[in-house]
Every structure is written in structure tokens, then in C-alpha cells.
Amino acid sequence: MQEHTRPGGRRVPRFGLALALAALAACASPTTSDEFGWERTAAEKSAPSGGESLAQRKFELRRAQRDMVAFYETLDSMQSRRDYEGYTLFSGFLDAYMGIYLEPLLEREGQSSHPELMALDANLRLVKAQVLVQLRDTGRAEDAIEDLEQRYRGRENMLVDYPIGTQSTLGDALKLLRERKWNG
């Protein structure tokens, strides 16, 4: 057991903190399995959100979307300038980021049908698909598009943040995304 000490302060067992954090972030953190060595239950993953935890979920989805937009802009900029070394290096980072943080965030089934989260969820999935198109990973991009189509069937008129920086209906966004997938 490690102890954490502030200069001139008291020694505090860290395990207590870990427990407190785990309890607080049970339905918020996508990465708790890595940090504390246990998996969350399926019930925890899909538990209906409300109150502070809903606010937390919204915050996470919004931030993840903005982060993905920043990644997309960086990728796009390097491609335009034909910075292949930078592009390769950054692609590796992006792959890892999506695998470790983004996918767990999107795996929470409840948020695609939650009235207050579904638009945020769709926005995040769209920007993920756009990044995959930018990475020229057409297979995964196609999977992401199909997943969006299935997940939001019948809700194609929902307004989403796509193309990045503008808005359109989900139906139009998916059509455009598919065109971009083929056009590269």
C-alpha cells in the first residue's frame, strides 16, 4: 500500500481515496477497469442516467466530441500539408485513444435512446466515423456508419453537428459521410 504525503501534511492511505473515487465515478468513468482492476457490471454500464450522473455523462460526451473534432482538425491539417511522418505518428495515438477511451464511452447502450443524450451520442459517433474516414480506415468507417443507421433508424430527422462546424439532419449527415468515405 502506497502512502501519499503532502509536504508538512498528514499521511493518507490511498486505497480509501480509490474506493471513494470508484464509488463516485462508477457510471461516469470509461476507464475504471484499467485503474482499479475490476470490471463494471452490465447494469452499471447501461443504468439510466439522471441528476448529477446525467450531467456528468453529458459533460463527458460533449468533451469527447470536442476532443475528437480537435483530433480531426489536426489530422486534416497534416494531410493537407502532406506531413506523412506526423500523420503516421498521430494515427497511432488516435487508434489508441479511440480504443481505450472512446469505445467504452460509446458502448453504453442507454445513451443512444436517452432523450437528453441521444443527440450527443449521435454527434460523437459521427465525428468518430469522420475521423475513421480521415484515417482512411474505410472498413471501420463503414461499420461506424452502419451502426449509426441501425441505432438511429426512424430518427433520421434528428439535428446533428455534421459536417463538423455546421448542422444537418442525421439522414443527410449519413449520406454525406458515406460519400466522403468513398471520396477519401
Q: Does 76 bind another protein (CB under 8 A)?
A: yes
Instruction: State the first-to-last Cα distance of the chain, in angstroms, to the nearest integer.
Output: 52
Regarding 20 and contact with another protein (CB under 8 A), the answer is yes
> Binding of another protein at residue 162 (CB under 8 A)?
no
Degrees, nearest 5: CA angle 134-135-140: 105
Q: Which stretch binds another protein (CB under 8 A): 67-75, 106-114, 119-127, 150-158?
A: 67-75
**Min separation Cβ 13 and another protein, Å:** 8
CB of 3: closest distance to another protein in angstroms? 8
Q: Which residue has the cell 464509488?
A: 23
In 3D space, the residue among 81, 92, 98 whose CA is nearest the CA of residue 140 turns out to be: 98
The contact mask relative to another protein for 84-103 (x = CB under 8 A, - = no) is: -xx--xx--x--xx--xx--
Q: Where are the beta strands (DSSP E) in the chain?
A: 3-5, 11-13, 159-160, 168-169
Q: Cβ distance 162 to 130 under 8 Å? A: yes
Which of 33, 39, 50, 81: binder of another protein (CB under 8 A)?
Answer: 81
Name the nearest CA neighbour of 28 among 125, 105, 111, 84: 105
Residue 67 within binding range of another protein, rule CB under 8 A: yes
33, 77, 113, 138: which one binds another protein (CB under 8 A): 77
The pattern of x and - marking residues 31 through 50 that bind another protein according to CB under 8 A reads: x--xx---------------
Cell for 26? 462508477
Q: Residues 38, 41, 45, CA angle at the centre, nearest 5°?
A: 115
Q: d(Cα 136, Cα 144) in Å, to the nearest integer?
A: 13
Residues at the site binding another protein, with contacts judged by CB under 8 A: 2, 4-10, 12, 14, 16-17, 20-21, 24-25, 28-31, 34-35, 52, 55-56, 59-60, 63, 66-67, 70-71, 73-74, 76-78, 80-83, 85-86, 89-90, 93, 96-97, 100-101
